[in-house]
Amino acid sequence: MIVIEPITVQNLQVFKEIRLRALKESPGAFGSNYARESVFTDEEWRNRITRWAGEAGIGYLAIDDEVACGIAGSFLHPNDPARAQLISMWTAPTRRHRGVGRMLVDSVAAWARLRGATILDLFVVANNSPAMRFYERLGFVRTGRTQPYPNDPALIEYEMARPLPPSHNLPAWMHPVSSRASSTPFALKFRYD
């Protein structure tokens, strides 16, 4: 059974390991890179978690039989909180095509909708066709906006977006099984059967 857990200081080590695995395994997929983040101190990881677990951000891990196999995060846009941006999306190669990515995006979408966002958007590198097909499958479409890819300015990134359904329309299978030790109602742990 796969469980989606919010990233917190309690799972800092798991977060760090899976984020570095993602950067190493998919070096062309993210705005950051392994060389930069592999030298982060524990304090820098904790600061990142504070941002990812604050009012305007979230991070989720996918855990399969106690082994982390996926990660995704999101932030509300500072100048437009009606929009949330999906970031750091990654599924371990051995767990791909089993619905892990969809669960992570659904979890991020649920969080963003509860925060009041009506649009979920993201940037994907123009040569990352598999990820683009994945996002299209999940209802994202290209908006027409582009930006240079930070790791290689010769490449561009496409913006993709999709509307978020009202929270009462969340899928029935997305049922909270526990909440973490926090006052926020948005950090739920979801079980996917």
The residue ranges that bind ligand COA (CB under 6 A) are 26, 29, 89-91, 96-102, 124, 128, 130-131, 133-134, 137
Q: How many H-runs (helices) and E-runs (strands) does the chain carry?
A: 5, 9
CA 130 to each of CA 27, 96, 106, 160, 193: distance values in angstroms, whole numbers, following the listed order: 14, 11, 19, 14, 26
Please say which residue, 102 or 180, places its beta carbon nearer to ligand COA.
102
State which residue, 52 or 134, has the beta carbon closest to ligand COA: 134
Q: How far apart are CA 170 and CA 35, in angstroms?
A: 39
Nearer to ligand COA, 137 or 175 (CB): 137
For residue 61, the minimal CB distance to ligand COA (Å) is: 13
CA 17 – CA 94 distance, rounded (Å): 16
User: Nearest approach, Cβ of 191 to ligand COA (angstroms)?
Assistant: 16
What's the closest the beta carbon of residue 123 comes to ligand COA, in angstroms?
7
CB-nearer residue toward ligand COA: 21 or 180: 21
Burial class (CB in 10 A: 0-12, 13-18, 19+), 45: middle
Measured at CB, which residue is nearest to ligand COA?
101
Closest CA to 86 of 130, 120, 137: 120
Measured from the CB of residue 154, what is the shortest distance to ligand COA in angstroms?
18
